Structure 1
């Protein structure tokens, strides 16, 4: 890999200044939103209304990258976008891609004024991070941590001051916010799962019908057979229990 002079902190500083956002981790670029707006700062014609700046679910990340793919195609940018890796929000994958984006920007940015907030029409940019939302609440009682509370100890045998209850209240609010975010994320994953499962089920039915029609004519299609193998393949190390398979066959006979 080509050596880069920019560190992670330098890249984030450049990104935050260019787009007027407040990313704290390179992994946040995995939503695809920042990458899209970097391109917009160059070309000024990216459909930013289709870019979800505060995307929180993987299917939203993928939609952002689809916008980016269309831009690369229209601008004839010969650079593969490893969407499957980037949307996992891993540091190394996004660091390498952000480094490439920085080089691309350095080469192609024409130097015109750019108003990132106006271009995204004031969309919120609170991309998710891998940090727990309650981290700031824990830090409230940790000496030496920015934002921590300072004050004397609670007198032995005396009553607690209001600061302790305030910290507990903040922790509860933080946990509630974390639970809400996790519930929303789970709901999004379930919708995404059901969406793709329905597609696979439609394909399975179509292939099965075609195979049955061909079988009646005494013919077979190698491609359809391979598709069925893929559809019915199992993960390595996993086998369908014989009892379960037998039960399924019995159900199908009725």
Structure 2
């Protein structure tokens, strides 16, 4: 079984030291292009723009990636027109293929993702990527004397509190975006299951005897659809609660 959406995003964020929360964000082309730079190490990353929000800029990013495909003889269509629309399914499928390609051709060793893109993009707040330089880790984890002094003064405390509030608000916004992406993904797969369920019902209506065959295809499909993990309990239906 392939990796889940979250596993793929975790891999991408660790590799590139980014903080991508939704698959749709890959439609900019920037992160996908840098994955191939981590493999070959010679892409013109100065031409790849991370902090952009126009389709024109996305297309320019994908031009860099298209040149890589052409020069390296990569036998895989690059569906740029679909990817730049930032749709979940198109970008998920391409990310899955990209990960398989990376697993096959990644040469190993350290990769300075932030340095290669000249500091563009948003660095993750968690631990360093397995291949990030150790100096970056030390800079991010070693407290300074000045920071400790500020926490003991009213003025520094105010600055520190404002900084913490901004960081917390940023984290809240990221979590909200993640929830939106998860809900969209849930709805997508639910609609697929519903379509399958309708097809099964139609098959039973056309040929009622198929339901009585425990070894038949219809019965096997139903077993997969309605089975649950051990210990799972369907929650009781109750009044809706307010969500924030």
Q: TM-score, normalised by structure 2?
A: 0.50
Larger CA Rg, structure 1 vs 2: 1
Which structure would you say has the larger RCO, counting Cα contacts within 8 Å and 6 or more residues apart? 2
